[in-house]
Structure 1
């Protein structure tokens, strides 16, 4: 059950310009943002970080990382948001969205970034030398690696926020965290190629 949901009249004046911008761009005011806006300092700081990190990597990689991190953190609200943006803005297919939630991608370079991001969140940043080398070998610079870590941290912030307040979902429903299994049609010698052939999914509602 949602723990808080302010009315528009309760939004502090310092948050309104930022909230109005999101409302205009999205077409409605998401519950997460209306609630987050109760703290102008936290909300505006997050919005600034979001704006800055929207310029790093590419949109498919960013959304894939958001999906992978939200899956690990068990944030069902964020999974609805990232699935929506991945489909509408990144033009990702349903298969690509499923794979991203599991920490994979059909594109080898993006796959390396998403794998690394998942390991960062799963291991609380304590990745191995091999993990770090793998993302570097995929073509990511030191700046890119830092940006991946920053994206993991930013997405975790909203994951934790939404898990704490348990807000009512206002984006199209998706399978909850931990409920998806993939079945590759045919294995190949390349992991990325194997995952690119996914055609069927099993959804286990928990």
Structure 2
């Protein structure tokens, strides 16, 4: 039997050795999800950065917005696909499938967003996120006007850019760490929950 592969190139601290605030956050996530996503354990290697990352993550993703929870995850999955981040595509793909109740959408967005089954408004959002991801220096007033024509507010446009930028950081750190997705993520939202 082969030994389990490490979840990160860097040491993963023992949960009981972590500062209390990190341990409480991780245990709350475990309570909700039924497991601890590996990103929490990997980032706990540097507690101050863990706190900073999740503070910005929560400020962007948990705030009231003109973007639905599913649309925020669409941005993450599409841009993480461009950045070839296995962890974020798998983990956020699972969350997206659950939010949208659609087992196909994450694979579509991660491989070819132009072919994804989205509304015209969502296509405009993803096109803009991809430009922020790969061509931000060329964003101009016409890009902003195109989003406004689909009903996005200035705050919504900021959210699209902020989520893309945060996950640019996250994708690069996950690749640096060789962060392994939890096996639980692979099937979430693909198969109906068993009734038990």
Q: TM-score range by the shorter chain?
A: 0.7 to 0.9
For residues 55-79 of structure 1, give each alpha carbon's deviation from its aligned partner in whole angstroms, at most 9, with x where no partner exists. 3310121111001110111101111
2:192 corresponding residue in structure 1 = none
On the 8 A contact 2:125/2:147 being kept in 1, the answer is yes
Query: 1:67 aligned to 2:77?
Result: yes
2:47 corresponding residue in structure 1 = 40
Higher relative contact order (CA 8 A, sep 6+): 2
Give the Å deviation of 1:39: 2.1
RMSD: 2.1
On the 8 A contact 2:131/2:139 being kept in 1, the answer is yes
Give the one of 12, 15, 23 matched to 1:8: 15
Q: TM-score, normalised by structure 2?
A: 0.78
Give the one of 86, 90, 97 matched to 1:87: 97
For the residue of structure 2 that corresponds to 1:123, the secondary structure is helix
1:165 corresponding residue in structure 2 = 177
Distance 1:14 1:60 in 2: 28
For the residue of structure 2 that corresponds to 1:130, the secondary structure is helix
Distance 1:125 1:60, change over 3 A: farther
Q: Which moved more, 1:42-51 or 1:3-12?
A: 3-12
On the 8 A contact 1:63/1:86 being kept in 2, the answer is yes
For structure 1, list consecutive stretches of 5 or more residues without a partner in the other structure.
175-206
1:139 corresponding residue in structure 2 = 151
For residues 160-202 of structure 1, give each alpha carbon's deviation from its aligned partner in whole angstroms, at most 9, with x where no partner exists. 121110022214449xxxxxxxxxxxxxxxxxxxxxxxxxxxx
| More strand as a share of residues | 1
Query: 1:151 aligned to 2:157?
Result: no
1:97 corresponding residue in structure 2 = 106
Give the one of 80, 87, 94 matched to 1:77: 87
Q: TM-score, normalised by structure 1?
A: 0.75
For structure 2, list consecutive stretches of 5 or more residues without a partner in the other structure.
1-5, 188-196
On the 8 A contact 1:15/1:38 being kept in 2, the answer is no
Number of paired residues?
Answer: 173
For the residue of structure 2 that corresponds to 1:124, the secondary structure is helix
Give the Å deviation of 1:10: 4.1
